[in-house]
Amino acid sequence: MRAVIFAGGRGTRLAPFTQVLPKPLVPIGERSILDLILRQLGENGFDEITLCVGYLAHLIRAVCDASPIPDVRLDYVHEETPLGTAGPLTLVPGLDETFLAMNGDILTTVDYRDLVETHVRNGNVFTIATHERTSKIDYGVLHVEARKPGDSRIVGFEEKPTERLNVSMGIYVLDPRAIEYVPRDRPFDIPDLVLALLAAGEPVGAYPYTGFWLDLGRHEDYEAAVSWEKDRHLLVREGLIPA
């Protein structure tokens, strides 16, 4: 199976770490985020992986080439100018079959093989792995009804409500037809692609996942990942979970 990893961003949300390291190389325990992702994909049967690189690309290549993943062929596509989160797909040769695409800062236990198989089974052109997140609003929210100009009445009040939202995990499955909607030589993001597909009536699927997932572009998720890795090492050492 084929996979594409977006690893060319500057990672501004994770500064100051990313001032000296590209975000995919930020460490989680003894390994980088990217190394963990590559090994997971290899274990799930992805034997051909393309890294879309840009910012500090030479560091990514040096680290990956120094620690090759068994039975995985790794190649690189370099963005001369930033092309967004979907634009780099136009640079990747040979995407003529269904493939996985994902951000290079994701820590999750999702079953990548099942995600691809579900995409194919449901006949989608594009599938997004989704996760439910709770968002708390730190204000009292008013429900206001406008009766007439200058006369509004409060009809409801919620003190610091929470919302449950389905968010993108930054992991996708695409058929080659999806790339036809990505313009060449200019920035284009995944949300732009999704909207273009929906406008064209193409089937876009969701793959809900309730298990472990962290977006390591966020400081709070990165800190949670470091804690998780420490706990995991303890469990491995005690023989309670496999290495």
Tokens matching residue 32: 């980088």
Question: Which of 124-128, 164-168, 211-215 holds the top average pLDDT?
Answer: 124-128
Instruction: Specify the DSSP element, H or E, that contains 179.
Output: helix 176-179
Quote the CA–CA distance of 145 and 104 in Å, as a whole number.
45
Q: Decide: pTM greater than 0.85.
A: no
Per-residue pLDDT, averaged over 194-212, amounts to 96
Quote the CA–CA distance of 189 and 89 in Å, as a whole number.
10
Sign of the Cα torsion 35, 40, 43, 44 reads negative
* Cis peptide, bond prior to residue 82, ω within 30 of zero: no
Q: What angle do CA 46, 103, 200 make, to 5 degrees?
A: 95
Task: Report all structural domains of the chain as residue ranges with CATH numbers, in order of start.
Answer: 2-131+167-237 (3.90.550.10)
Sorted by sequence, the CB contacts under 8 Å of residue 181 that are 6+ apart come out as: 193, 196, 197, 200, 202
**What's the pLDDT at 19?**
53
- Residue 20: band (very low, low, confident or very high) from pLDDT cuts 50, 70, 90: low
* CB 179, CB 126: distance < 8 Å: no
pLDDT at 237 over 70: no
**What's the pLDDT at 241?**
39
pLDDT at 225 over 90: no
In tens, the pLDDT along 66-119 reads 888 888 999 999 988 889 999 999 999 999 999 999 999 888 889 999 999 999
* CB 72, CB 42: distance < 8 Å: yes
In tens, the pLDDT along 158-179 reads 998 888 889 999 999 999 999 9
Percent of the chain with pLDDT over 70: 83
